[in-house]
Structure 1
Amino acid sequence: MSTAARTRALEDEIVHLRRAITSHAVVDQAIGVVLATGHIEPAEAWDVLREISMHTNTKVRVVAEAIVGWARTGLLPTEIRTELEQQLCARQRFTAREAARTRERREPGP
């Protein structure tokens, strides 16, 4: 492999690693929001994010960004909010009152 090709490959790897670090940080923050909201353990919060991702056909990173944004703004896309409620209710620690609170924080209409 030429020096130029090797340099390009290393630059690409650096870009990829920077993106991964940023994505990991957002996912960790979202896990914190979910565990605080649902009164669940970190491993369960990770499962919730993963399940939301699978059921909404949305990347985990995008789900995490939406949940972190919700903690900051109170706005959460309806599809993700609905699935979050279902996932937390399935774990039976998420009360009806908490579910109602998430419904109050809807994404604004078009």
Structure 2
Amino acid sequence: MRDFSYTELAVATEDFSGAEIEQAIYDAMHMAFNQDPPREFTQEDILKAIRQTVPLAAIARDQIQDLKAWAAESGARTASQDQRLVQELQTLAQKRGLGPIEVDSPSSALKDL
């Protein structure tokens, strides 16, 4: 296993999707492998690729906020276990005078099958 700081990489990619993280690593590999002579890629290569990437969450921030507001207003249930997202949806619902947002747990989702 290579010596990477996974905590630092996680912080740097907080708003990134899995595909965006994968692409940043792919870009870092190409940066290193295409040098003369080729070399192994490093954490700094990954961080450089991350800094050159604008995640979709940043580009579509307004649309995402609109979708969250719609979810809160419509009473949609979330399957996410992300406590920040759940809290944000509950706060949006409360601001609009709506009931609490329900959160599906993995076990309750299986009961519906």
| TM-score w.r.t. length of structure 1 | 0.35
Larger Rg, first or second structure (1 or 2)? 2
Higher relative contact order (CA 8 A, sep 6+): 1
| TM-score w.r.t. length of structure 2 | 0.34
Which of the pair is proportionally richer in helix? 1
